[in-house]
């Protein structure tokens, strides 16, 4: 587990001290550099870089256009189940929440896919809570087989799986897997994950190694900003991405920067705000630009957790992939129910409005840029 081991060797207190000791000279050095180190990234996310946001935005814009052209990938999440056997204090699906639990049957999944296709999407992210016995490999295999020919790029955000399970799902057409570490600080991680298999910090951290070894096309990583020190977690995420690119060069890396949101049944999001642990929008923009300058090749993904105004402003400055018109409850596209959302979303615009906003920035929305290739020997 090369990448996980390298991450475990980092001294998080040292990273925090290092980030907070950066000065204007360090920021200017990072902005002039063509091959940035982690130290340079830490300068760019430090408080000392706040006055340099315009310079960072210009560089992030140029690097993004150079590598990705004037494009914006569009995808939509499809929530398959809100069953969960974990207790995470920040999530609406947490096991102890008394909510109506649903897992979509194959006909219901097909109805959702039809509704999603009718909106124009063919890049789909399948999302579940984490309930291994009821929503495990048998369910994933059945679902992938049913929908694979109806989507062009198939992503999953589910519980971390074994390497051989990723290999198996790849043969069924799985393209990308997102496993967010939530926080890279084991102490904070233990505080927020109080029951269930998700308490196993290492099993989650090693998931990206298993994905790389399984040859999955794209590996998604990120921290839930607001759980721990968001600057330290972001430095760890940036390092994580670079290490994955070095060790598993056949896989692409996608980085997300979700900010903690409030949801039914918990106060973690509100507490993070009160404790000033949450990055504000200007901090988040600085972070997006820093990720792009540090890692010109990574996909940067921005979800509907953020407001329409923020998304419109941030989209040219490094972001290359966006969700739109998202529903975070199972069945939300074809038959909206009263089932609870996993978290509050902020950009509620219909997909047509998001497309117009992308075009207004001079960017081309990309609905499909990948055709599954199946070699037939018969």
Binding site for ligand SF4 (CB under 6 A): 84, 86, 88, 91, 93-94, 129-130, 198
Tell me the C-alpha distance between 186 and 202, whole Å. Answer: 9
Give least dist CB 293 to ligand SF4, A: 30
Give least dist CB 160 to ligand SF4, A: 10
Give least dist CB 270 to ligand SF4, A: 17
Give least dist CB 87 to ligand SF4, A: 7
Are 347 and 333 in contact, with CB atoms under 8 Å apart? no
Rg (CA), the chain: 20
Q: How far is CA 226 from CA 128, 192, 211, 223, in A?
A: 22, 11, 26, 9
278, two tokens: 């949450």
Looking at residue 255, the DSSP 8-state letter turns out to be E
Q: 86 or 286: whose CB is closer to ligand SF4?
A: 86
Q: 198 or 218: whose CB is closer to ligand SF4?
A: 198
Would you tell me how many other CB atoms lie within 10 Å of the CB of residue 224?
A: 26
Are 184 and 236 in contact, with CB atoms under 8 Å apart? yes
Give least dist CB 94 to ligand SF4, A: 4
Residue 326: phi, psi to the nearest 5?
A: -75, 140
Give least dist CB 177 to ligand SF4, A: 14
115, two tokens: 């509704």
Q: 40 or 182: whose CB is closer to ligand SF4?
A: 182
17, two tokens: 């001290």
Q: 227 or 314: whose CB is closer to ligand SF4?
A: 227
Q: 72 or 227: whose CB is closer to ligand SF4?
A: 227
Strands (E), 212-251: 218-222
Looking at residue 339, the DSSP 8-state letter turns out to be P
Tell me the C-alpha distance between 306 and 309, whole Å. Answer: 8
Q: 143 or 320: whose CB is closer to ligand SF4?
A: 143
């Amino acid at each position: 587990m090369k990448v996980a081991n390298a991450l475990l060797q980092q001294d998080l207190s040292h990273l925090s001290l290092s980030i907070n000791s950066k000065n204007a000279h360090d920021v200017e050095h990072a902005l002039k550099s063509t091959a940035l180190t982690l130290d340079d990234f830490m300068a760019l996310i430090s408080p000392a870089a706040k006055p340099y946001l315009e310079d960072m935005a210009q560089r992030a814009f140029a690097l993004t256009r150079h590598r990705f052209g004037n494009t914006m990938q569009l995808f939509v999440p499809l929530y398959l189940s809100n069953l969960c056997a974990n207790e995470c204090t920040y999530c609406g699906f947490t096991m102890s929440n008394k909510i109506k639990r649903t897992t979509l049957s194959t006909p219901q999944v097909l109805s959702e896919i039809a509704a999603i296709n009718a909106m124009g999407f063919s890049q789909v992210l399948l999302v579940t809570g984490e309930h291994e016995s009821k929503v495990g490999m048998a369910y994933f295999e059945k679902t992938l087989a049913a929908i694979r020919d109806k989507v062009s790029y198939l992503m999953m955000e589910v519980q971390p799986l074994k390497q051989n399970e990723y290999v198996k799902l790849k043969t069924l057409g799985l393209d990308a897997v997102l496993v967010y570490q939530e926080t890279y600080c084991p102490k904070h991680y233990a505080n927020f994950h109080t029951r269930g298999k998700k308490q196993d910090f290492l099993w989650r951290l090693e998931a990206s190694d298993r994905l790389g070894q399984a040859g999955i096309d794209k590996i998604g990583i990120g921290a839930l900003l607001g759980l721990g020190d968001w600057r330290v977690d972001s430095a760890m995420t940036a390092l994580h991405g670079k290490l994955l690119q070095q060790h598993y060069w056949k896989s692409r890396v996608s980085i997300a920067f979700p900010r903690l949101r409030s949801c039914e049944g918990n106060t973690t999001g509100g507490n993070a705000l009160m404790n000033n642990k949450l990055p504000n929008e200007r901090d988040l923009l600085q972070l997006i630009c820093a990720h792009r300058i540090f890692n010109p090749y990574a996909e940067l993904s921005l979800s509907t957790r953020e407001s329409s105004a923020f998304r419109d402003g941030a989209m040219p400055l490094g972001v290359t992939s966006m969700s739109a018109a998202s529903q975070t409850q199972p069945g939300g596209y074809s038959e909206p129910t009263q089932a609870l959302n996993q978290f509050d979303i902020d950009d509620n615009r219909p997909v047509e409005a998001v497309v117009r906003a992308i075009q207004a920035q001079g960017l081309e929305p990309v609905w499909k840029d990948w055709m599954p290739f199946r070699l037939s020997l018969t």
